[in-house]
Chain A
Amino acid sequence: MIFLSEMFAAFITAMMLENLLFARAIDIPGLYEKRSPQQILLIGSILTAIIAVCSVPAYFINTLFTSHAAFVPYMTLSFLILNCLVFLGSYFGIRRFAPAVFAQIGNALPFYGVNCATLGTLLIAARLSTNIHFSSFFGYCLGSGVGFTCAMFVIWSMRQSMSLSRTPKAFRGLPITLIYLGILSLSLFGLLGNQLPS
């Protein structure tokens, strides 16, 4: 029960309070491309699955590294190697067992597997606390992936409404998207307060 409650608390924190995109400005390549909700769900699922699978060995690597101070500078490298291995597994797994999905997103799949969101989540979760429990670590990683997927849906929702409005030409596309993200980030800071994310 304690395991589930800790996991749930970390999940909600990562998904809403410390959302990867709105609170930490961490993105993936091709975030601003036009996508349908089904594609967003697919990309989000792959991202979340990769982060969740990475989190299990990452927790033990983090425990090992934090106990030896000399290894800490190499934590990024070890997490990146882990991320790449999990991505390779998922790449060949999707190619083998889901060829229809692979045909749809195979070209862009590498960019969804290794990016700022996947590596950043592992690094942030490792910095949460020196003696973090596995439940919180896993819940945080899972929540980050789900929260990023929700953020992509919010951007899609923004596109739907902006397509009907008369945006000035100088602001169309990337500028208005950034301003929109800024105002959403403002609303989330109502929960966070004046904290700079690490």
Chain B
Amino acid sequence: MNGGDTPNGPPQPTRARVAEGLARRYRRERRFRLLGLAALLFGLGFLAVFFVTLIANGHTAFVQTRILLDIELDAERIDPDGRREPIALETANYQQLIRDALHRRFPDVTERRDVRELYALISPAADLEIRRLVLDDPAVIGQTRSFWLLADDDVDMLVKGRIDRDAPEAGRRLSDRQIRWVDTLAADGRVELKLNRYFFTSGDSRDPELAGIWSATVGSFFMLLVTLLLSFPLGVATAVYLEEFAPRNRWTDLIEVNINNLAAVPSIVFGLLGLALFINIFGLPRSAPLVGGLVLTLMTLPVIIIASRAALKAVPPSIREAALGVGASKMQVVLHHVLPLALPGMLTGTIIGMARALGESAPLLMIGMVAFIVDVPESPLDPSSALPVQIFLWADSPERAFVERTSAAILVLLAFLVLMNGAAILLRRRFERRW
């Protein structure tokens, strides 16, 4: 295999030198590839840690502890008049029924302090479900019914194993007695983890067992709706004008530089602008998704304009020439040919911009969307929160039970983001054209 032996080959020194370097070149290539692979694995590793932590912390928030109690729907207690008036049924003290049931279950608890601890096992809002049943069907009054009552968040944490039983009593939220009671109930099969409906259907609450993401989700939805309705048409129109109609001169250059700069402006600055402009000058309501949407529009517009211009630039000039060649006007060239071909790219950019807007929290803090919102907003003018802001608020709450809810809310937000980015990729695949 000595290169110098072949009569027609290049002179031996060249071959030898190339062969010498060849091994080194391949080694270098292998090293380079390994380096890239290592970087990728490093990134993936972090992502895996992130997801594992989130899921480990958050998955328990989708269920919550309920305790089975036999409630005697005593007519004397609910409706002493016996007239079954709605107002009476609504204001009756259902809490007392729960307390009675607890007393029947644990008759030996009599001391005032112990009684209060016993009552604390059940969520202060557990009576709402009893009341709903009675209001729906007053005929149940007088019967004894079994209810899976909402447990207090501390009991919930105990059942989910998030309270250390070996810690000294003073260092836990539950006393030894309370733990014993829960264990007794559990031994009877009266403690169970059930689907956490409140998490998906209610707004924020001071009681973690009642807190949910629905009002924040609706707020985010209204906000994105406003953002989409404003930023897509505005962004596309701007991009079309700049790309197809505007002359190239110093002014358009200046505008281009500014648009690129705006895309890089920290989002909190847009929040301040929104506060000054929309709330202080235009007098729009605070904490409203409308204002949030307007602020996010300011933030998303540059992204959409840049993506749309790139999509317009990608339409080959031959298509424009073809249309001009048969006598299409500038407007017809754009509307009939360029825009339809650029639209998938524009939509992809828009979805990515929207996904960014969905995850944005800083500018919303500036316009008062950080408020404590229990009610589900019914229009973009109602006070509302947003998903990322809700996460921020819960992360700030001291209750142990909010930890899992924070993680769960992050999981929900991530699911939305994955959905949107998936849609963007799908759209690109589906409509990608080759010329």
- Do the two chains bind? no
